[in-house]
Amino acid sequence: MKAATVKELRQELSTRSPKELLELCLRLSKFKKENKELLTYLLYEATDESSYIESVKREIDEQFEQINKRSYYFINKSVRRILRSVKKYIRYSQKKETEAELLIYFCQKLKFFTPSISRSRTLKNLYNRQLEMIRKGISKLHEDLQYDFETELNELILR
């Protein structure tokens, strides 16, 4: 079966009744955890972005506490898993401010993580790639926000 294009789906959905749309959304939410998470974000958390960011930060904290520190192999795997979940939450929001704030927070946690990431080339490279992504994301923001995030980023780099 070939998937329909977004345009075709939009046209078809516009012909459906609200009750049918509700049924379709609920059916979609049953198939994948990400669909359910996105629907939860859109219905409950999209209106209050700051509390959403705080809840994601708390989850990042919990995940960093659970990292197995026995070897850099396990640390690397765990950090990549955390970064994947952060990117997923950024995708849900689709706001550049949220992206910058969450990535800066992730980099802060990673930089001050013990044992130090400076002993692992892979973790240093991952950290540097995220800094570059933050810079690119910040450049697309409003000038006032750019200044605020640039200050945070420079503070992170200089520490």
Digits of tens for pLDDT over the chain (159 positions)?
788 888 988 888 899 999 998 998 888 888 888 988 888 898 888 899 999 999 999 999 999 999 999 999 999 999 999 999 999 999 999 999 999 999 999 999 999 999 999 999 999 999 999 999 999 999 988 888 899 999 999 888 887
pLDDT at 31: 87
pLDDT at 59: 96
pLDDT at 87: 96
**C-beta atoms surrounding 46 within 10 Å:** 14
- Coil/strand/helix, residue 53: helix
Joined together, the tokens standing for residue 26 give 């609920």
Residue by residue, DSSP assigns 132-154 as HHHHHHHHTS-HHHHHHHHHHHH
- Coil/strand/helix, residue 114: coil
pLDDT at 157: 84
pLDDT at 25: 87
pLDDT at 54: 96
Domain boundaries, the chain: 19-158
Nearest Cα to Cα of residue 104 among 80, 125, 77, 132? 132
Task: In whole angstroms, give the CA distance from residue 58 to residue 54.
Answer: 6
pLDDT at 26: 87
**C-beta atoms surrounding 40 within 10 Å:** 13
**pTM recorded for the entire structure:** 0.87
Task: In whole angstroms, give the CA distance from residue 35 to residue 95.
Answer: 19
CA of residue 95 relative to chain centroid, distance:
10
